[in-house]
Amino acid sequence: AVAEGNMEVELDLRSFGRSSRPAIQYLRFVSDPVIPGVTQCGRCVEAFLRESGIEPGALRARSWEELPREDKKRIVSALVRKALEFGLEPDEISRLIGESYTLVGEEKTIRDAKEFATLLNACVRQGETELAVSLAKGERGATLLLAEEVAKAYRRQLFESLKIVSGTLGLQRRGAVAYFHAGPLVPDSIVGVVTSILMSRYGSAIPVLVGLADTDDMVKASVRLSPRLKGGSLHLGAIVSRSAEAVGGYGGGHAVAAGATIPRGSEEGFIELLVRMVEESLNNEVEL
């Protein structure tokens, strides 16, 4: 795609809405790592920019993609200083920068490949698989407008689910593992997304986070590892697989993200086994 001129790849600040949102909003959504005084705080972003000698007004009229390279460099340098002030480690700060992929010739809302992928994902999670396929095949116009409406409904559902977990349910803690059981309150199709978002918020304090939600007759578990433990010996896929099988379910995944389907009523046993194996793995790592 790059060789054919259909895609451009560059190193840039990692967030969401690089092409579709005003740059000032793009900064507010920087979340890996979370930067206190910037992440999820509109007023804080404006104050941060002024402290850094940058006029916020200039970032309201243009997207991050449209900003001159020198302006981006100044802002990223200021973000790094802010992160250091709050004691973030260099390996955490390095995650601010990553490869961005621009789909040349696409409309503003889907020029960033991450945004296009998110739109396709939203359609699939809302049961609109054929719509996602049509988009992927290049249909635009009414198809794109319909997909954007589906994505809005998906975001509303996600927002409500996060509100339920963060407010009504809350997180329970057992040793190195935090978890929530949403039952039927959060759709099983998005419990993994909810778990990932919460881990991005609380990963500095929580080694492992588990989200549970009811399916038709089983329970779906989504498990995420804190970014600060990435690259260590703890492998969630193996641990989740063993824990699920022990209670009559099945599961697996990668080192940092895994999932399982377990029988209803086995949640307590699943969590207990998971906690034991996570803590054994972490203790062995410390001893090494």
Alpha carbon 123 to its chain's center: 17
14 or 39: which carries more pLDDT confidence? 14
Which residues are bridge partners to 237 per DSSP?
Answer: none
Q: Which amino acid is at 68?
A: P
Measured N-to-C along each axis, helices 142-163 and 191-202 cross at an angle, to the nearest 10 degrees, of 60
pLDDT digit string (tens) for 161-218?
999 999 889 999 999 999 999 999 999 999 999 999 999 888 778 999 999 999 989 9
Task: Domain ranges for the chain, please list them.
Answer: 10-104, 112-164, 171-287
Stretch 150-159: mean pLDDT = 95
Alpha carbon 224 to its chain's center: 11
42 or 115: which carries more pLDDT confidence? 115
Q: Strand, coil or helix: what is 163?
A: helix
Domain 171-287 has CATH 3.10.310.40: yes
Among 53-62, 79-88, 139-148, 200-209, which range has the highest average pLDDT? 139-148
pLDDT digit string (tens) for 72-100?
999 999 999 999 998 988 988 999 999 99
Q: How many Cβ atoms from other residues are within 10 Å of residue 241's Cβ?
A: 18
Q: Which amino acid is at 236?
A: L
pLDDT digit string (tens) for 231-254?
888 999 999 999 999 999 999 999
pTM greater than 0.85: no
